[in-house]
Amino acid sequence: MKIVLLRHGKPKVEFAGQVKACELHSWITAYNLSGINGKPPLKSIEMAQNCNAIICSDLPRSIQSASALGIDKILMIDSLFSEAGLPYPQWNSPRLPIKVWAILFRIFWFLGYSSNAESLHSAKQRARLAANKLIKIATEYETVLLVGHGFINRFIANALISSGWQGAVYSSNKYWAFEVYHSST
């Protein structure tokens, strides 16, 4: 059995401009509704074409990435596989670049801050559920591709490894990058 975790293509949304922390919600909404730019590398297309079941999150960048990979039939689209949300407060100052806020609040999230987002603990629990669902699908279809997202894919990878699967402990954070996990049984 084989499970492939692939990160979606580059989103169409920009990280440009300065905003207050309380304005991050609008940017996060736009990011979650965005599609993708560009085409996948041949290596990613070939990997996707060799999988028997394709799973996507319910975010457009995941579904559009599957389409760009040449996938014409998605077995499942499920929010269980969506990215862990970015927390944000209701601060009215200062104004900082969106990328600075994103990095800052992702660090805060790892330290336990989760205002307006799921907690790190909840995201890891969800990843364990997602890994179990992928394992069940792999049992039936032999090879499964998840067109997912950076952080949730990492957490799913950790859950697979904890369940006895073999593969990379750290997955690449690059768009279109993938890691392959094999059952040890």
Domains belonging to the chain, first-starting first, are 2-182 (3.40.50.1240)
Phi, psi of 111 (to 5 degrees): -90, 0
pLDDT at 185: 66
pLDDT at 69: 97
pLDDT in tens, the chain (185 residues): 999 999 999 999 877 789 899 998 988 998 899 999 999 999 999 999 999 999 999 999 999 999 999 998 999 999 999 999 999 999 888 999 999 999 999 999 999 999 999 999 999 999 999 999 999 999 999 999 999 999 999 999 999 999 999 998 777 789 999 999 999 76
pLDDT at 54: 98
HEC secondary structure over 127-152: HHHHHHHHHHHHHHHCEEEEEECHHH
pTM of the full predicted structure? Answer: 0.94
